[in-house]
A and B are shown apart, each in its own frame.
Chain A
Amino acid sequence: MHERFYRSLYRIRRVEEEVARAYPTDKIKSPVHLSIGQEAASVGVCEALGPNDIAFGTYRSHALYLAKGGDLRKMIAELYGKATGCAKGKGGSMHLIDLGAGAMGASAVVGTTIPNAVGYAYAAKLRGSQQVVASFFGDGAVDEGVFHESMNFAALKGVPIIFICENNFYAIHTHQSRRQKLANIAEKARTYGMPAEVIENNDALRVYERVHEAVAQLRAGKPGPFFFECFAYRWKEHVGPGEDYQLGYRMRAEAEPWLDSDPVKTMAARVDKALRARIEAEVEAEIEEAFEFAETSPFPEVTELYTDVVEL
């Protein structure tokens, strides 16, 4: 199991590092919101979900998409705006989708997918599909009215959903303490009538254990929702490939403990060295191939501009 976790974490990290490396060439014409440093929640949650379960994300969803089993080649091609992308070059980095893998897509407007996830979960319940839905969002989304309205409704209807608040403490450059009077996101969720807990240590295994138990309870017919607030830290700038400690809104000293407790390294320590080397080599080859695929794929034909349009 540790091997699987490590592969997933390492793969996500390396994919995003390669995105950051390729970015300055201006070939990736899409704003990228990297999850480097925040991979643990996506991996932990998705490992606890089954392939038929569904995940809704945000514009910062590279990690989620990959952890849920989204196609890597199609993801990179989508970032390049190529016809072979997961949305045919019509979505970009902020709207990754792989229905086959249960990655239900993402929105660039903060908070908008939360009620969509609740709706999907309600549908799953009504259809008796046994599916569990995971809804990912940031601490910033908690500021929005729709977060609270969705919590209320989800609890009221007891839908099979797991809310994952990835709390990296910042919304763009504004710290949680400048947006919320109290740092009590999980507590807020609890008051809407759902079990809620904080997972502080940015460890995919810990996230997995807690979410796995919640998923088991939902499958056994216990009404949802469950709420998890997972602490993490964004190593890179809000949008783009660089670091931004020079902006002065946060200090590198604040980042140090998070850099030290790197979720990828934490998991690496649990895997045998030789095995690790093999995983890494396989992942590197896969990534190289995916970028090659994106580079050499064609751009969409101009006629594609008028396909997938709502029919009138």
Chain B
Amino acid sequence: MARDPSVLIFGLDVDDPKAIQGTTRGLLEKYGAERVFGTPLSEDAMTGVAIGLAFGGLRPIHVHIRMDFLMLAMNQLVNIAAKSRYMYGGQVQVPIVVRAMIGKSWGQGAQHSQGLYSFFMNIPGLKVVAPTTPYDAKGCLIHAIRDNDPVIYVEHRILHFQKGPVPEPLYAVAPGKARIAMTGSDVTLVGISYMQLECLRARHYLEAVGISAEVIDPIWLQPLDIDTIANSVRKTGRLCVVDNGWTSCGAGAEIVSAVIEQVQHERAVRVKRLGFAPVTCPPAPTLEDAYYPNGRTIAAAVRDLVTGKANHWLSDERADLREIEFKGPF
């Protein structure tokens, strides 16, 4: 915002005392109420306003404390933001960033736990990014702001608590390159958003039973860097995608089919999709535990995939692999 006066940020609670988990803290003082402001509870209209601001030459960032609330903005996002550049023959562009928070539930239940990014991956004209490391969180946001088209920027509540190196200078993490987080030889494990962490945990559990997993963070979901994943699968012959959403028509479905399209004539591949149970998210802890994949259940499924049979194995939980978890009330 210091570099580019056309950038502004707004949305519910952007300027409130909690400042979107601290992510917007200090911005109001620094950049003033014209560029940093809270809004009425009017997701549909405010999305349209964001698009209008973009038509008017600015670069708005619109923030939502839950991705679930984006459902109220679907019309503007899908029918206007995604399509304007094309349907007006390239004469206009819509450089907006939509920050949408998702999360593991901790009893938040049906409407506060959904990872709905695949809805947007389905629409030509929208870019979608779901960074997991602090480094990528900064670099992808900077790219998203500079991008001349609409970007849905998906951030997971638990990932806000992650620590990692973040260089001081401005840098961009552009679409086009997935990251191999850990190399391995037996199976390619792709984890989306928070599930990246669970995949890294799963990798440790798998090590203990002699399976070497290559863990890949796709970072950008639209456009997807399929080449990096496909190359890994050429090596391992096995692909498991763990989605932070439902599997049906999900990001995992897309990744698996795109990889198969590439490698089907070169080698046989075994695939597996994991994600939320195909039901509405329940708050009861016993049900929630079964609803979400975790390091151990991922490891178990991957072991079955690698060995080609059901092993009925579930590793003991390892305390050293537990990490900070989201706690209520918010």
Give chain A's interface residues, CB within 8 Å of chain B: 23, 26, 28-32, 81-83, 85, 88-92, 94-95, 107-111, 140-141, 143-146, 171-174, 178-180, 239-241, 247-249, 299-302, 304-306, 309
Report Cα–Cα, A87/B278, bound state, in Å: 19
- How close is A234's CB to chain B, nearest CB, in angstroms? 14
The 8 tightest CB contacts between A and B, nearest first, are A89-B284, A240-B329, A81-B284, A29-B107, A92-B283, A143-B40, A143-B41, A173-B16
Choice from B45, B278, B287 contacting A300 with Cβ under 8 Å: B287
- Residue of B whose beta carbon sits closest to that of A111: B41
List chain A residues, Cβ under 8 A from B147: none
Interface residues of B in 19-49 (CB under 8 A from A): 38-45
Report Cα–Cα, A29/B286, bound state, in Å: 11
List chain B residues, Cβ under 8 A from A29: 106-107, 283-285, 288, 328
Known pairs A179-B41, A248-B17, A309-B279; A301 contacts B328 (CB<8 A): no
Report Cα–Cα, A297/B68, bound state, in Å: 31
Report Cα–Cα, A215/B321, bound state, in Å: 59
**Cβ of A30 and Cβ of B12 under 8 Å apart?**
no
Report Cα–Cα, A247/B18, bound state, in Å: 8
**Cβ of A89 and Cβ of B282 under 8 Å apart?**
yes
List chain B residues, Cβ under 8 A from A26: 327
Q: Write out, one digit per residue, whether chain B residues 105-118 have a CB within 8 A of any chain A CB (1) or not (0).
A: 01111111000000
**Cβ of B40 and Cβ of A30 under 8 Å apart?**
no
**Cβ of A108 and Cβ of B41 under 8 Å apart?**
no
List chain B residues, Cβ under 8 A from A241: 329
Choice from B42, B69, B107 contacting A92 with Cβ under 8 Å: B107
Report Cα–Cα, A174/B11, bound state, in Å: 12
List chain A residues, Cβ under 8 A from B68: 108-109
- Residue of A whose beta carbon sits closest to that of B37: A178
B280 interfacial contact with A, CB 8 Å: yes
**Cβ of B284 and Cβ of A300 under 8 Å apart?**
yes
Report Cα–Cα, A254/B213, bound state, in Å: 58
- Residue of B whose beta carbon sits closest to that of A138: B41
Interface residues of B in 105-136 (CB under 8 A from A): 106-112
Q: Which of A109, A178, A247, A300 has the most CB of B within 10 A?
A: A109
**Cβ of B283 and Cβ of A91 under 8 Å apart?**
yes
**Cβ of A299 and Cβ of B286 under 8 Å apart?**
yes
List chain B residues, Cβ under 8 A from A305: 277, 279, 282, 287, 290-291
- Residue of A whose beta carbon sits closest to that of B40: A143
List chain A residues, Cβ under 8 A from B112: 31, 94, 108
List chain A residues, Cβ under 8 A from B108: 30-31, 92, 108
**Cβ of B111 and Cβ of A107 under 8 Å apart?**
yes
**Cβ of A299 and Cβ of B109 under 8 Å apart?**
no
**Cβ of B284 and Cβ of A174 under 8 Å apart?**
no
- Residue of A whose beta carbon sits closest to that of B286: A299
- How close is A31's CB to chain B, nearest CB, in angstroms? 5
Q: Kindly state the interface size class of chain B when it binds its partner.
A: 35 or more
List chain B residues, Cβ under 8 A from A111: 41
Q: Which of B12, B106, B287, B288 has the most CB of A within 10 A?
A: B287
Q: Which of A81, A248, A249, A306 has the most CB of B within 10 A?
A: A81
Report Cα–Cα, A107/B287, bound state, in Å: 20
Known pairs A95-B109, A109-B69, A301-B286; A240 contacts B41 (CB<8 A): no
**Cβ of B110 and Cβ of A95 under 8 Å apart?**
yes
Known pairs A82-B284, A109-B69; A143 contacts B16 (CB<8 A): no
Report Cα–Cα, A128/B45, bound state, in Å: 37
B155 interfacial contact with A, CB 8 Å: no
B217 interfacial contact with A, CB 8 Å: no
B88 interfacial contact with A, CB 8 Å: no
Q: Which of B16, B283, B284 has the most CB of A within 10 A?
A: B284
List chain A residues, Cβ under 8 A from B44: 145
**Cβ of A172 and Cβ of B12 under 8 Å apart?**
yes
Choice from B18, B41, B43, B279 contacting A171 with Cβ under 8 Å: B41
**Cβ of A110 and Cβ of B277 under 8 Å apart?**
no
Known pairs A92-B283, A174-B16, A302-B287; A144 contacts B110 (CB<8 A): no
- How close is B48's CB to chain A, nearest CB, in angstroms? 10
**Cβ of A31 and Cβ of B329 under 8 Å apart?**
yes
**Cβ of B17 and Cβ of A249 under 8 Å apart?**
yes
Report Cα–Cα, A179/B39, bound state, in Å: 6
Choice from A85, A95, A174, A300 contacting B13 with Cβ under 8 Å: A174
Given contacts A90-B280, A95-B109, A302-B289, 14 further A-B contacts (CB under 8 A): A29-B106, A90-B283, A108-B111, A109-B111, A143-B41, A143-B42, A144-B41, A172-B12, A172-B13, A174-B13, A239-B330, A247-B17, A304-B287, A309-B280
List chain B residues, Cβ under 8 A from A91: 109-110, 283
**Cβ of A179 and Cβ of B40 under 8 Å apart?**
yes
Report Cα–Cα, A90/B108, bound state, in Å: 10
Report Cα–Cα, A306/B290, bound state, in Å: 10
Report Cα–Cα, A83/B285, bound state, in Å: 11
Choice from A107, A173, A179 contacting B18 with Cβ under 8 Å: A173
Report Cα–Cα, A83/B286, bound state, in Å: 10
**Cβ of A173 and Cβ of B17 under 8 Å apart?**
yes
**Cβ of B107 and Cβ of A90 under 8 Å apart?**
no
- Residue of B whose beta carbon sits closest to that of A180: B40
The contact sample of 12 A-B pairs, CB cut-off 8 A, is A30-B283, A31-B112, A31-B330, A91-B110, A92-B108, A108-B68, A108-B110, A146-B72, A239-B328, A240-B329, A305-B282, A306-B279
